[in-house]
Structure 1
Amino acid sequence: MKEGQRKELMLKGNLYKVIITLSLPIMINNLIQTLYNLVDGMWVSKLGSVQFAATAFVWPVLYLFISIGIGLSVAGTSILSQLIGASKEEEANKYSSQLIAISVLAAICFTIIGYVITPLVIKLMGGKGDLAEYSNIYLRLSFIDLPFMFLFFNFNSIMNAQGNTLLPTIISGISAIMNIVLDPIFIFNFNMGIAGAAIATIISRVFLALASIYILLKHSKTIKPSFKNFKFDKNIIKRILNISLPASLGQSGSALGFMVLNGFIASYGTATIAAFGMVNRITSLISQPAMGIGAALTSIVGQNIGADQLDRVREAFKKSLILTISFSLVGLLFILWKDNEIINFFIRSKDDKEVISQGINYLRYISFSMPLMGIFSVLQGIFQGSGHTKYSMSMEVGRLWFVRLPMILIFKHFTKAGPTGIWFSMSFSNLIICLYGIFIYKKKNWQEKVISA
C-alpha cells in the first residue's frame, strides 16, 4: 500500500478494516518477539531453574532504562501522526531527526551507567549466591544492547505514525529468527551459558538497528530524517519531552515497582521467581492481539485528532474494545482448557517440580484478567495517541504502586496465602485500574490537542 493510500485509509476508511490492517502486523511482530522470549527462556531453563530465574529477576532493572526509549517512541508516534494528519510533513521531518538524536544520546549514557551499577542493584534487590552471579552476567551484557534497541524504537514510531506497521514487522521478524538460531549456538556449542543468550540478542539487535537506519534514510518518503547540518532544536526537544516524560515515568515507575515486586517474590524462593517469569511470558503471548490493537489505535487516534475528526476517534475506541475483549475471552478459555499442558511445554527443565506447580496456579489466576488486560491496552492506546500521556502514566504507576504492591504486602504479612496472594493481587489490580481508565476516558480531557505545527 502506498503512503498516500495509508493516510486515506486512516482518515476515511472502514474502522474495523483500519484497526485490523494496522494491528495485524503489530500482532505478528509482537508474537514473533514473544515467541523469541519464550524460546530464549526455554534454552536458558535447560541450564537450570536458577539461570532462568536470573533472567526474570533482572528484567525490571533493564526495563527501567528501556522505559525511556519507549516513552520517546510513544511521543514520536503521537506527535508525528498528528502532524501527518494535519498535512505538516516538513515539520514531521524535523521532529523525527531530533527524536533519533536524543534517543541515541540517552541510550549511550544509560549503557555506561547501567553497566557500572549492575552489581549494586542486584545486591539491593536481594540477589544472593548463584542467583546474584548469573543476574550480574546477564544484566551487564543486556545493557550493551540499549543503543540498538532505542534506534529500532525510533524506526518503529516513525513507521507506525505513517500507518506502515508491516515493514517493522518484517525486519523485526528476521532479527528474531536470527536470535533463535544463535541462542543454542552461543549457549551450548560455545559453552557460554547464560552469557550466550545475551550475546545472541545483541548480535540480532545490531542487525535490526542497521536495517532500520538504512530504510529511514533511503526508503522512507512521508517522513525522511536528515542529519545534514544538524543542530538540536530546544523548542522541538521540549515538545517531545513534554509528551515522552509522562510516558517514560509511567513505564519506569512500573519497572521500579516490578523491581520491588521481584524482591517480594524472591523471598518465596527461586521456584516462585521462575514461575512468575515463565507465566508472564505465556500471558504476553496470548495478549498479543490486544496489545497490537492498542498500539494500532495510537496512530489512528493521532492522525484523526490532527485532522479534527474526534467522532472517528471515539468510534475507533469502541470498535477496538469490541475486538480486544473478543480476542481476550478466547485466550482465557484456551488457558483454562490447557493450563497443565501449557506450563509443562514451556518449562523444559524438570529439576524443580515446584516451579511447574506454582506456574499452573499463577496461570489459572491471571487467566481471568485477560479481558481486563485487553481493555488496559486500548485505554493506553487512546491516551498515548492523543498525546495525553499523563493519563497512561497514572494507569501504569497506579496499577502497581497503589493497588498491586499494597495488596501483596497485606497478603504477605497478614495472611498465610503464600505465593497465591501475589497471583490474586496481579489479577485484581487489573480490574481496579481499568475502572479508573474508563472514568478518565469519560471526562474527555484527552480530546484536547497537545501540539500544533
Structure 2
Amino acid sequence: MKEDKRKDLILGGELYKVIITLSLPIMVNNLIQTLYNVVDGMWVSKLGSVQFASTSFVWPVLYLFISIGIGLSVAGTSILSQLIGASKEEEANKYASQLIIVSLIFAICFSIIGYIITPLVIKLMGGKGDLAKYSNTYLKLSFLDLSFMFLFFNFNSIMNAQGNTLLPTVLSGISAIINTVLDPIFIFNFNMGIAGAAIATIISRVFLAVSSMYIMFKGSNTIRPSFKKFKFDKFIIKRILNVALPASIGQSGSALGFMVLNTFIASYGTATIAAFGMVNRITSLISQPAMGIGAALTSIVGQNIGANQLDRVKEAFKKSLRLTVLFSTIGVIFILWKDKEIINFFIRSKDDKEVIYQGINYLRYISVSMPLMGIFSVLQGIFQGSGHTKYSMSMEVGRLWFVRLPMILIFKHFTNIGPTGIWFSMSFSNLIICLYGIFIYKKKNWQEKILTDKEYI
C-alpha cells in the first residue's frame, strides 16, 4: 500500500477497516514473537524446571532497561504520526534522526551497566544456587543485544507512524524463524545449555537491526532520516524525552514491580516461578488481537489528532473497545475449555508435577480478566497516540504498585491460601486499573495537543 493511500485510509477510511488493516500485521508480529517466546521456553524447559524458571526470573530486570527503548518508541510513533497527519514530513524526518541517535546512546550505556551489575541484581532478588547460576548466564548475554533491539524499536515506531505495520511484521517473522532454528542447535547440538538460547536470540536480533536500518534508509518511505551534517537539536530531543519519559517510567515502574513480584513468587518455590512464567507466555498468545488493536490505535489517534479530527479519534476508540472485548472473550472461552490440555502441551518437562498443578490454577484465574487486559491495551493506545503518556504511565505503575503488590502482601501475610493469592491479585488489579483508565478518558484532558500550533500548521 502506497504511503499516501495509507494516510488517506487512516484519516478518512471506514474505521473498522482501518483498525483491522493496521492491527492485523501487528497481531501477526506479536503472535510470531510470542510463539517464539513459547518455543524458546519449551526448548529451555527441556533442560529442567530451574533453567526455565531462570529465564522468567530475570526477564523483569532486562525489561527495566528495555523500557527506555519502548518509551522512545512510543514517543516516536506519537509525535511522528501527528506530524504526518498535519502534513509536516520534513519536521518528521528531523525528529526521526534525533530519535535514532538518542536511542543508540541509551542502548550502549545500558548494555555496559547491565552486564556489570547482573550478579548483584540477581543476589538482591533472592536468587540462590542453580537459579542464580543460570540467571546470571542468561541475563549477562541478553544485555549484549540491547543496541540491536533499540534500533528495531526505532524502525518499528517510524513505520507504525506511517501506518506501515506490515514491513516490521515480515522482518520479525524472518528473525523469529532464524531464532527458532538456532535455538536447539546452540542449546543441544553445541551443548551450550541456557547460554545457547541467549546467543541464538542475539544472532536473530542482529539480522533484525541490520535489515531494518537498510530498509529505512534505502526504501521509499514518507519518513527518511538523514545523518549528513547531523547535530543534536536540544528542542527536538527535549520534546521527544517529554513524551518518552512518562512512557519509560510506566514501563520501568512495571518492570520494577515485576522484579518485586518475582521475589514474592520465588518465596513459594521454583514450581511457582515456572508456572507463572509459562502461563504468562500462554496468555500472551491469546492477548495478541487486543494488543495489536491497542498498538494500531496509537498511529490512528496520532494522525487524526494531527489532522484536527477529534470526533474520529473518539469513534476509533469505541470501535477498538468493541473489537478487543470480542476477541478476548473468545480467548477466555477457549482457555477455560481446554485448560489442562494447554498446560500439559506447553510444559514439556514433567520433572515437577507441582508446576503443572499451579499452572492450571493460575491459568483459570488470569483467563477471567483477559477482556480487561484488552481494554487496558486500548486505553494505552489512545493515551500514547495523543502523546499524553503520563496517563499510560499512571496505569502501568498504578496497576502493580498500588493494587497488585499490596494485595499480594496482604494475602501472603494474613492468609494461608499460598500462591492462589498471587493469581487472584493479578486478575483483580486489571479490573481496578481499567476503571481508573475509563475515568481518565472521560475527563478529556488527553485531548490537549502536545505539539505547538505552529508545528501542526
TM over 0.5: yes
Q: CA deviation at 1:451?
A: 1.0
Which position in structure 2 is the counterpart of 1:398? Answer: 398
Partner of 1:34: 34
Q: Deviations over 1:308-343 (max 9, x none)?
A: 000000000000000000000000000000000000
Q: Please give the alpha-carbon distance, in whole angstroms, between the structure 2 residues aligned to 1:274 and 1:213.
A: 36
- The one-letter code of the counterpart of 2:415 is T
2:223 aligns to what SS in structure 1?
Answer: coil
Give, as a single letter, the amino acid of the residue that structure 2 aligns with 1:245. L
Q: Matches of residues 54-453 of structure 1 in structure 2 within 5 Å?
A: 54-452=54-452, 453=455
- CA–CA distance in structure 2, aligned partners of residues 255 and 304 of structure 1: 31
Q: Report the TM-score, using the length of structure 2 for normalisation.
A: 0.99
Q: Residue deviations 1:227-275, cap 9 Å, x none?
A: 0111110000000000000000000000000000000000000000000
Q: Which runs of 4+ in 1 moved over 3 A?
A: none
Cα distance in structure 2, aligned partners of 1:394 and 1:443: 15
Which residue identity does 1:159 align to in structure 2? M
Residue identity in the other structure for 1:449: K
Total equivalences in the alignment: 453
Q: What is the aligned partner in structure 1 of residue 23 from structure 2?
A: 23
SS of the aligned residue for 2:192 comes to coil
Q: Per-residue displacement from partner, 1:424-452 (whole Å, max 9, x unpaired)?
A: 00000000000000000000000010013
What is the Cα deviation at residue 220 of structure 1?
3.9
Rounded Cα–Cα distance in structure 2 between residues aligned with 1:326 and 1:112: 44
CA distance in 2, matches of 1:257, 1:320: 28
* Cα distance in structure 2, aligned partners of 1:371 and 1:56: 24
5+ long unaligned stretches in structure 2:
none
How far apart are 1:221 and its partner, in Å? 2.2
Letter in 2 for 1:95: Y
Deviations 1:162-212 (A, max 9, x none): 000000000110000000000000000000000000000000000000001
Aligned equivalents of 1:113, 1:221: Cα separation in 2:
35
Per-residue deviation at 1:103? 0.2
Distance in 2 between residues matched to 1:96 and 1:321, nearest whole Å: 30
**In structure 1, C-alpha distance between the alignment counterparts of 2:441 and 2:102, rounded to whole Å:** 31
Q: Residues of 1 paired with 2:66 and 2:380: CA distance?
A: 18
Deviates more, 1:214-223 or 1:178-187: 214-223
Return the alpha-carbon distance in structure 2 between the equivalents of residues 128 and 328 of structure 1.
Answer: 38
C-alpha distance in structure 2 between counterparts of 1:111 and 1:451, whole Å? 32
Give the % identical residues.
Answer: 87
Three-state SS of the structure 1 residue aligned to 2:222 is: coil
Aligned to 2:3: 3
CA distance in 1, matches of 2:276, 2:220: 41
What is the CA–CA distance in structure 1 between the aligned matches of 2:417 and 2:255, rounded to whole Å? 25
Shift of 1:131: 0.1
Query: Offset at 1:155?
Result: 0.1
Counterpart amino acid of residue 141 in structure 1: L
Query: Does 34-43 or 212-221 show the bigger shift?
Result: 212-221
TM-score (norm 1): 1.00
Root-mean-square deviation (Å): 0.4
Q: Following the alignment from structure 1 to structure 2, what is the Cα–Cα distance between the partners of residues 6 and 261?
A: 42
Aligned AA for 2:412? Answer: K
Report the AA paired with residue 360 of structure 2: I
Secondary structure in structure 1 of the residue aligned to 2:185: helix
**Aligned amino acid, residue 173 of structure 2:** G
Please give the alpha-carbon distance, in whole angstroms, between the structure 2 residues aligned to 1:174 and 1:232. 34
Offset from partner CA, 1:120-168 (integer Å, 9 cap, x none): 0000000000000000000000000100000000000000000000000
Give the secondary structure class of the aligned counterpart of 2:256: helix
